[in-house]
């Protein structure tokens, strides 16, 4: 029986939804599935997830928060855990964290198949030639890759990974959780029509330009305007509160704070439109959530999901995140148009991006990884896409 294990930093609701899809898919073909996390909690994301009564084992290598774990201890735990499990295929989320590199080292030394799981695209950061050269060498140790969509795929191809070894489907959420039929009966937390944005309050989320765009929208429309809800928290919260006061928008802009998934559902249920204004984003899973809730989207064109999730003029519009006036005009266009039909188009489009899509992509990557050796993989060039 083929045994596939999936290693993430820590498991939140997104990861559990993906693993549920993988488990059901693998159950049908007679494969065994295991989930591994470096630690139960991390400082970047404070999500909570119910990990009780899972149909597959979830192995937590370090019970404490990840930043408090010494690297030597983490590497030892990785090797011990993998030596116990001994999976035939190990899917590894990223290569930036030393723990993930230690897991890759284990696959090489034990001649097991490694699959890279990656959301990285080329324009995420300034690229240095010497760093890209190192990445090219590192990527030869993986037999296949699972990525979010087309920009992420093109980046790996530029780094030398053959196209037929790259599968899509990584960046999905549990769509059923957000479906309008499941959440429409929840109470409206605002009592007004509203735009919704869900972010960490950090610079790359571009929330000050979003507030400027909204202020211009409010000044043009007045009382009939939709309100704005910014869900989230972070280092910029006090500055955001100050800007809201300076713009005289304290009655129109709502800050409910950081919310776990269940507490977010009423906002998805009653929003009229979702806005994601990030200056830079590898993907943007909150866009998946919003579309799964049947919301049209206004989406920054620098988000990694833009090319795959947004159909211009059908389920929303894209915009330049540096142009607040352009966003204002799209807010006006949305309120004066037919957001309901756009939301229905968003709901239909997101159905492809499901946990089953993740499962199909990862199993495809595993199957091709088990067929041929690593040396053969990276001597291959060209070929048709399997995504």
CB 164 within 8 Å of CB 380: yes
CA angle 329–335–339, rounded 5-degree value: 115
CATH of the domain at 306: 3.40.50.2000
Whether 147 is in a domain gets the answer yes
Pull the structure tokens for residue 178: 């957000």
- Same domain for 204 and 259, yes or no, is yes
- Same domain for 332 and 243, yes or no, is yes
Residue 367 CA, chain-centre distance (Å), reads 24
- Same domain for 181 and 165, yes or no, is no
Residue 257 to residue 230: CA distance in whole angstroms: 8
Residue 14 to residue 178: CA distance in whole angstroms: 12
- Same domain for 162 and 211, yes or no, is no
CB 37 within 8 Å of CB 6: no
Residue 142 to residue 165: CA distance in whole angstroms: 10
- Same domain for 336 and 229, yes or no, is yes
Whether 119 is in a domain gets the answer yes
User: Nearest-CA neighbor of 153 among 140, 137, 169?
Assistant: 169
Whether 386 is in a domain gets the answer no
Helix, strand, or coil (residue 259): coil
Scanning the structure block, which residue is given the tokens 């030639």?
129
pLDDT tens digits, 9-43: 999 999 999 999 999 999 999 999 999 999 877 65
Q: 295: Cβ–Cβ under 8 A, 6 or more apart, which residues?
A: 196, 268, 271, 272, 273, 274, 343, 346
- Same domain for 153 and 16, yes or no, is yes
Pull the structure tokens for residue 104: 């890759």
Which ranges of the chain would DSSP assign to H, the alpha helix?
Answer: 13-29, 71-85, 98-109, 129-139, 150-158, 175-178, 180-183, 207-221, 237-246, 261-270, 285-292, 306-309, 324-336, 339-350, 355-371, 374-377
CB 35 within 8 Å of CB 25: no
Pull the structure tokens for residue 133: 């050269």
- Same domain for 213 and 359, yes or no, is no
Domain count, the chain: 2
- Same domain for 61 and 156, yes or no, is yes
pLDDT recorded at residue 372: 59
- Same domain for 9 and 43, yes or no, is yes
Whether 384 is in a domain gets the answer no
pLDDT tens digits, 362-383: 999 999 999 854 444 444 333 3
Helix, strand, or coil (residue 116): strand
User: Nearest-CA neighbor of 65 among 84, 51, 46, 81?
Assistant: 46
CB 95 within 8 Å of CB 116: yes
H or E element: which one contains 145? strand 144-147
Residue 319 to residue 298: CA distance in whole angstroms: 7
A 10 A CB-CB count for 295 gives 27
Whether 385 is in a domain gets the answer no
Secondary structure letter of residue 56 according to DSSP: S
Whether 278 is in a domain gets the answer yes
Furthest C-alpha separation in the chain: 66
- Same domain for 57 and 125, yes or no, is yes
Helix, strand, or coil (residue 255): strand
**Residue span of the structural domain in which 360 resides:** 3-172+354-377
Secondary structure letter of residue 110 according to DSSP: T
Residue 14 to residue 2: CA distance in whole angstroms: 24
- Same domain for 230 and 255, yes or no, is yes
Whether 387 is in a domain gets the answer no
Output the tens digit of pLDDT for each of the chain's 387 residues. Answer: 999 999 999 999 999 999 999 999 999 999 999 999 998 776 555 667 778 889 999 999 988 788 888 999 999 999 999 999 999 999 999 998 999 999 999 999 999 999 999 999 999 988 999 999 999 999 999 999 999 999 999 999 999 999 999 999 999 999 999 999 999 999 999 999 999 999 999 999 999 999 999 999 999 999 899 999 999 999 999 999 999 999 999 999 999 999 999 999 999 999 999 999 999 999 999 999 999 999 999 999 999 999 999 999 999 999 999 999 999 999 999 999 999 999 999 999 999 999 999 999 999 999 999 985 444 444 433 333 444
Whether 211 is in a domain gets the answer yes
- Same domain for 343 and 359, yes or no, is no
């Amino acid at each position: 029986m083929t045994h596939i294990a999936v290693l993430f930093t820590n498991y939140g609701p997104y990861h559990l939804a993906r693993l549920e899809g993988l488990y059901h898919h693998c159950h049908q073909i007679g494969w065994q599935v295991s989930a591994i996390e470096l630690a139960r909690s991390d400082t970047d994301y404070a999500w909570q997830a119910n990990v009780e009564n899972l149909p597959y084992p979830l192995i937590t290598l370090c019970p404490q928060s990840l930043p408090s774990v010494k690297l030597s201890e983490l590497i030892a735990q990785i090797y011990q855990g993998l030596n116990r499990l001994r999976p035939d295929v190990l899917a590894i989320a990223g290569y930036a964290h030393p723990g993930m590199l230690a897991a890759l080292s284990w696959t090489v030394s034990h001649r097991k198949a490694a699959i890279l799981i990656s959301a990285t695209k080329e324009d995420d950061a300034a690229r240095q030639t010497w760093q890209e050269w190192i990445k090219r060498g590192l990527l030869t140790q993986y037999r296949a890759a699972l990525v979010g969509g087309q920009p992420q795929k093109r980046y790996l191809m530029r780094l030398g990974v053959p196209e037929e070894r790259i599968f899509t489907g990584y960046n999905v959420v549990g769509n059923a959780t957000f479906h309008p039929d499941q959440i429409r009966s929840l109470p409206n937390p605002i009592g007004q029509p509203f735009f919704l944005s869900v972010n960490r309050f950090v610079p790359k989320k571009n929330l000050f330009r979003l507030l400027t765009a909204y202020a211009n929208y409010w000044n043009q429309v007045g009382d009939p305007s939709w309100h704005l809800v910014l869900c989230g928290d972070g280092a910029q919260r006090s500055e955001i509160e100050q800007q809201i006061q300076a713009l005289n928008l304290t009655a129109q802009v709502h800050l409910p704070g950081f919310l776990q998934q269940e507490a977010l559902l009423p906002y998805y249920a009653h929003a009229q439109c979702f806005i994601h204004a990030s200056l830079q984003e590898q993907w943007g899973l909150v866009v998946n959530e919003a579309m799964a809730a049947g919301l049209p989207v206004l989406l920054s064109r620098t988000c990694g999901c833009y090319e795959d999730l947004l159909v211009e003029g059908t389920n929303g519009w894209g915009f330049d995140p540096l142009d607040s006036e352009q966003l204002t005009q799209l807010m006006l266009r949305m309120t004066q148009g037919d957001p309901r039909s756009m939301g229905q188009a968003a709901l239909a489009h997101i159905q492809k991006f499901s946990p089953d899509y993740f499962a199909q992509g990862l199993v495809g990557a595993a199957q091709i990884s088990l067929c041929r050796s690593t040396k053969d993989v990276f001597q291959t060039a060209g070929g048709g896409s399997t995504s």
